[in-house]
Amino acid sequence: MATTLSGPSIGSAERAARIELWRKQEWHGWFRWWLCARGTDWSKPIWIALLVLGFAGLVLYGQLTGRWFVTAGGVVGWFSFVNLSFFTYFGLSLPGPPLPVRGPFAPGLRVAAKMQLYPAGYNRRKLPRMWMVAATEIEGEVIAMELAVAKLDPELHALMEQQQQTRIQSGDAPTVDVILETLPVSRAEIDGGAMPVRVIAWSWDETRTHHRRIASTHVPENSGRKSEG
């Protein structure tokens, strides 16, 4: 079994392809980022414009009809509606684009890695995600992959369900030791959503209570259940 994973580096074309795939898979998440966080935050001028247009229409209604009580109530209602709508849709924070996926790798390699499982809806992502980190040939450097999947493998889904309480208590998904196998896919297939690796074995210690983002974690000793397939 290999101890490191190596593959082509990520360039602007791969980043653009990942964002395009994200747009197709999770349109609302992409649109919120595109509107608010890609460069200029256009949600603020849109919010101001909607309020001004609504208030102007209500004032004009009051002048034409003399029913200023409707204008007064309408101002309060319109202000509340616009603000609640924006808060509900955009929230307090916006996740950025997923990491571009490295690859393709030489097929058939098996390498030890770390993984975290996130259910659909976590961090405002529509699809379940597998966050994986594997060591590279360069000391201190890792390959991090954020893989969105429409449907998790049944065993991994059961593991994710089993981790629910731990995930809530620690504020993040627990780290799982995994063995990855590289798959024979092309760069075009990866850009289209194909996974360059698959999990063939995993091990998780349910008694461990301290969890960290695995991108900054090396290889802690774990023991626990193991599944192969």
- Cα(201)–Cα(226) distance, integer angstroms: 6
- Report the pLDDT value the prediction gives residue 190, as an integer from 0 to 100: 92
Residue 40 CA to residue 20 CA, distance in Å, equals 20
Assess whether 58 and 135 both reside in one domain: no
Domains identified in the chain, total number: 2
Domain annotation covers residue 172: yes
Residues 123 and 176 in one domain: yes
Do 130 and 43 fall within a single domain? Answer: no
Share of the chain above pLDDT 70, in %: 90
Residue 134 included in any domain? yes
In a domain, 95, yes or no: no
Confidence band for 215, pLDDT divided at 50, 70 and 90: very low
In angstroms, how far is CA 146 from the centroid of its own chain?
8
Would you say residue 192 lies in a domain?
Answer: yes
pLDDT band (50, 70, 90) for residue 208: low
Task: Based on the fold, state whether residues 104 and 80 are members of the same structural domain.
Answer: no
170 lies in a domain?
yes
Average pLDDT score over residue span 1-16: 84
Residue 180 within a domain: yes
Buried b (16+ CB within 10 A) or exposed e, 51-79: eeebeeebeeebeeeeeeeebeebbeebe
Residues 106, 193, single domain; the answer is: yes
Domain boundary among 56, 90, 124: 90
Task: Indicate whether 135 belongs to any domain.
Answer: yes
Q: Say if residue 160 is in the same domain as residue 219.
A: yes
* 227 has a pLDDT exceeding 70: no
**DSSP letter assigned to residue 139:** T
Asked if residue 205 and residue 146 are part of one domain, the reply reads: yes
pTM value is: 0.75
What range does the domain containing 206 cover? 100-228
Instruction: State how beta strands 142-148 and 176-182 pair.
Output: unpaired
As a whole number, mean pLDDT of residues 38-62 equals 93
What pLDDT, in 10s, does the model give residues 103-152?
899 899 999 999 999 999 888 888 999 999 998 877 778 888 999 988 88
pLDDT score at 224: 34
Higher pLDDT, 126 or 229: 126
- Based on the domain organization, do 44 and 128 belong to the same domain? no
Q: Are residues 186 and 106 in the same domain?
A: yes
Q: Are residues 127 and 165 in the same domain?
A: yes
Does residue 165 lie in a domain region?
yes
Q: Are residues 160 and 215 in the same domain?
A: yes
77 with 123, same domain?
no
Domain boundary among 47, 72, 90: 90
